[in-house]
Amino acid sequence: MVWRTTMAFGFALSLSGARAQKHHAGSCCLNARSGNEARVKMNAPANVDAAASAVPGVVKKKGYDLRFRKLGDSDLVVPEVCLGTMTFGKQNTEQEGFSQMDCALDAGVNFLDTAEMYPVPVNDGSLWGNTESIVGKWLRTQKREDVIIATKVAGAGRNMEYVRGGPRVNREQIRQAVHDSLKRLQTDYVDLIQIHWPDRYVPLFGMRAYDPQFERDAVPIVEQLRAFKELVDEGKVRYLGVSNETAFGVCEFCRLAELDPSLPKIVSIQNSYSLLHRDFESHIAEACTPCNYNVGLLTYSPLAGGALTGKYQRGQSAPAESRFTLFPNYMKRFQESLTLEAVEKYVGVAQKHGMSPTRLALGFARAQWFNTSTIIGATSMEQLRENLDAFNFDLSPEVMQDIDSVFKRYRQTTSEDESPLDRQHVWDHDP
């Protein structure tokens, strides 16, 4: 099958579905992004303006100088910015979601990330799938080949019986999840399907360390790959990725695909990465480099749930309509006193160099060699515009040096402190 992959607004590449050969250590890495990055000057054509103006409140953005990169070993060419949608259907209305997607597309961002479990935070499951439905209604008004859609299958979780009797990443549930997502998205294929978090036990969302007492029976990874292979063969899925994964997981998924080349190789990993949470660079990055398995990072939470915007201050109440006020138990790892102390230092760096804290945080994520695309999310058009604007600038070496000075003092501030007996619950509602 030959897929037509669009970089944005008619800049198209006709690409085959052949798997790229894996690079081996010693044969590359003079520049980790060499061959994976194309710089494209984006100026949306007139017909895009006309389509966008049909939605009230859309802000037309032209002249963005966006980097486009191949996503891992795939033939997907994605912009360095991806629009996250997890607030659509809860914090944002359907119409607000439409406006955000139009605005992003007008800026050259034709890459959307969603999930079957969105919107979040999840409560009783009554809103399960609402975000995909909103994206699907919008997608129906676009040329399908002009938009890259990434979605996710839920991993194993407790207290989630409303999801297929309790989600697992087995063949039956993978097929059902993808079938339901395609129906909600009103499309016959997704460009990237991701395992939202592993079926096996791993420490998630700020947990400090692996604890063997929480190991549990898990669906073998090879069985997961076989199920996704069926969907790839059927044309329902183009590529496979993982999320909230570990270095071991990346290596195991890729090793099994090497042993049996008929199985799909993961092309991406969607993990948290920010000024406050830099685990990725110390261990997972090695597995993902083009020298090894060539797995592209899709960075989520680059603003640490909004903490790095500077709007949350120690000893002060959070803004009335902010995420931490509306959902006080959500992303608590970004609300701790030491975390907010580190935020104050990073805000100081931003002020010293005459930029907003948002621009500093997004610029930092953008500057990392292993980051293919940064997922941004917003609850207002003002926030979205500020996020997009941040990608018009590169951080200077002086700014990066000041960031490094803060990091040396506050290396990791987002690990939770609860008892190990509570760790088994963290993967319930904070993916």
DSSP string computed for 120-175: SS-SSSTTTTHHHHHHHHHHTTS-GGG-EEEEEE----TT-TTTTTS---SHHHHH
When computed from its CA atoms, the radius of gyration of the chain, rounded to whole angstroms, is 20
Beta strands in 172-255 (DSSP E): 190-195, 237-243
Of 309-318, 328-337, 345-354, the least confident: 328-337
User: What is the per-residue pLDDT for 328?
Assistant: 55
* Residue 69, pLDDT above cutoff 50: yes
* Residue 300, pLDDT above cutoff 90: yes
Max mean pLDDT range (12-16, 17-21, 72-76): 72-76
Quick check: 99 and 58 in contact, CB under 8 A? yes
* pLDDT average, residue stretch 200-227: 91
Marked catalytic residue, from 118, 189, 201, 300: 118
Calpha distance 218→239 (Å, rounded):
23
Calpha distance 136→86 (Å, rounded):
14
* Residue 176, pLDDT above cutoff 70: yes
Confidence of residue 17 (pLDDT cuts 50, 70, 90): very low
Residue of 207, 287, 294 lying closest to 249 (CA atoms): 287
User: What is the per-residue pLDDT for 57?
Assistant: 27
Quick check: 284 and 276 in contact, CB under 8 A? no
* pLDDT average, residue stretch 183-208: 93
Report residue 392 as tokens: 């018009």
Q: Can you spell out the DSSP letters for 20-51?
A: PPPP-TTS--SSTTTTTEEEEE----HHHHHH
For the chain, the average pLDDT equals: 83
* Residue 430, pLDDT above cutoff 70: no
User: What is the per-residue pLDDT for 28?
Assistant: 53
CA angle 404, 389, 392 (to 5 degrees): 70
Calpha distance 379→383 (Å, rounded):
7
DSSP 327: S
Residue owning tokens 């903490």: 307
Please give the residue that has the higher pLDDT: either 46 or 315: 315
Please give the residue that has the higher pLDDT: either 12 or 182: 182
Percent of the chain with pLDDT over 90: 67
* Residue 311, pLDDT above cutoff 90: no
Please give the residue that has the higher pLDDT: either 338 or 229: 229
Please give the residue that has the higher pLDDT: either 335 or 230: 230
- The burial class, CB within 10 Å (0-12 / 13-18 / 19+), for 126 is exposed
Q: Which CATH number fits domain 31-425: 3.40.80.10, 3.10.450.50, 3.40.1440.10, 3.20.20.100?
A: 3.20.20.100
Would you call 410 a catalytic residue per the annotation?
Answer: no
* Residue 236, pLDDT above cutoff 90: yes
User: What is the per-residue pLDDT for 319?
Assistant: 63
* pLDDT average, residue stretch 128-141: 98
* Residue 85, pLDDT above cutoff 90: yes
Please give the residue that has the higher pLDDT: either 124 or 243: 243
Phi, psi angle pair for 247, to nearest 5°: -60, -40
Confidence of residue 147 (pLDDT cuts 50, 70, 90): very high
Per-residue model confidence as pLDDT tens digits over 251-269:
999 999 999 999 999 999 9
Calpha distance 416→94 (Å, rounded):
34
For residue 131, what are the CA distances in angstroms to 127, 318, 372, 428?
Answer: 8, 26, 24, 19
User: What is the per-residue pLDDT for 290?
Assistant: 97
* Residue 39, pLDDT above cutoff 60: no
* Residue 155, pLDDT above cutoff 50: yes
Per-position b or e across 368-386, b if 16+ CB within 10 A of its CB: bebbbbbbbbbbeeebbeb
Please give the residue that has the higher pLDDT: either 58 or 164: 164
Calpha distance 360→42 (Å, rounded):
23
DSSP 91: T
- The CB-based long-range contact list for 277-282 (8 Å cut-off, 24+ gap) reads 277/301, 277/304, 277/412, 277/414, 278/407, 278/411, 278/412, 279/412, 280/370, 281/368, 281/370
Calpha distance 115→346 (Å, rounded):
31
Residue of 351, 344, 273, 353 lying closest to 307 (CA atoms): 344
Residue of 284, 399, 279 lying closest to 346 (CA atoms): 399
* Residue 83, pLDDT above cutoff 50: yes
User: What is the per-residue pLDDT for 396?
Assistant: 98
* Residue 334, pLDDT above cutoff 80: no
Per-residue model confidence as pLDDT tens digits over 360-416:
999 999 999 999 999 999 999 999 999 999 999 999 999 999 999 999 998 855 554
Calpha distance 130→137 (Å, rounded):
11
Residues in the chain: 431
